[in-house]
Amino acid sequence: MNYSLRLLTGIAGISLAAMTAQAGVSYSSTATGTAWNGSPVYTSIPNSSFGTVSGGTGQSDPTITGSFGVMAETFTPTSSFTLGSINTVLSINAAGTYQLHLYDLGPSGTVSVSSSTATYTPGTDLFSGLSLSLATATQAQGTFSFSGPDQVSLQANEEYAFELWTPSSVGQNGVLIFRASGADPGGQMFSAPDAAGARGTLAAEGQAGGAPRTAGIALYATAVPEPSMFVLGVLGVAALWAFRRRGA
C-alpha cells in the first residue's frame, strides 16, 4: 500500500469515527416553564394543558419490594421518527443511580389507555441498558438525551412504554414525576413495586383513585446526521493530492 492510499485510509477512518456517536444518555434540566421546550413530535399532555402537569401531583413509585421500583408512561406515536430525547417534569429528592428503559408493547391498543385495571409485562429493552446518576433538584423540566444506538426508531401506531427505575436504596420517593388527570389517547401511567414483575396502572397499584392518570412526557426527534463539511473538505484535498502523485 503506497503512502497516498495509506493517508486516504487513515483520514477515512478518522472521519468515520467522528461521525459515529456512542450509545448512551445524558441528563439536563431547565426551569419548568409554561410549555414543553422546543418542538416535540409527541406529547402526553399538550401545551394547552401543560399547567395541569407543572401544577399537578408529583407521583412516586409504589413501596419498592424488589431491587428497583418502576414508574412508566405508555405512548403511541402517530408518525414514525428517530427518538432523540424525552422531556418530563420531575423533581429529584434523593441522589442515586437510576435506570431508563423503553419497551415495544405491540400495535396500538395492545395495552388499554383508559382501563384502570390494565397491565403489561415488558419484553426486550430497546435501549442498550441505560443508567445515570441524578443529583437532588427541585421541580424542573428534565431532558434525557440519547446517542448512538439508543436513538431508537419509533414506528407510527405502535405502542411503547418509557420506564424510569428507582433503586430501592433511595426509597420510593427518590424521584417524583408530575402527572395530570387528563386523558392521553396514546397511553397512561403505570407503576410497579418490583421491576421483575408486571406493571399495573396507578389505580391498580393503589396509588391514585380509580381513574387513569397521565405522566407528562414529550418526545423529540433526533436531527438527521450530516457528514462534517470539514471532513469532506479534507478528504477532497487528500484525494486530489493522491491523484496528482499518481499522474506525476
Instruction: List per-block mean pLDDT (blocks of 10 residues) for the chain, which spans 248 residues.
Output: 44 36 82 98 96 95 98 98 98 98 98 95 96 97 97 98 98 97 90 98 88 94 60 44 52
Q: How far is residue 100 from each of residues 34, 162, 164, 222, measured CA to CA in Å?
A: 26, 8, 5, 18
pLDDT value of residue 247: 56
pLDDT value of residue 23: 61
Q: What predicted TM-score, i.e. pTM, was given to this entire model?
A: 0.83
pLDDT value of residue 130: 97
Q: Are 46 and 177 in contact (CB under 8 A)?
A: no
pLDDT value of residue 9: 42
Residue type, 135: A
pLDDT value of residue 245: 53
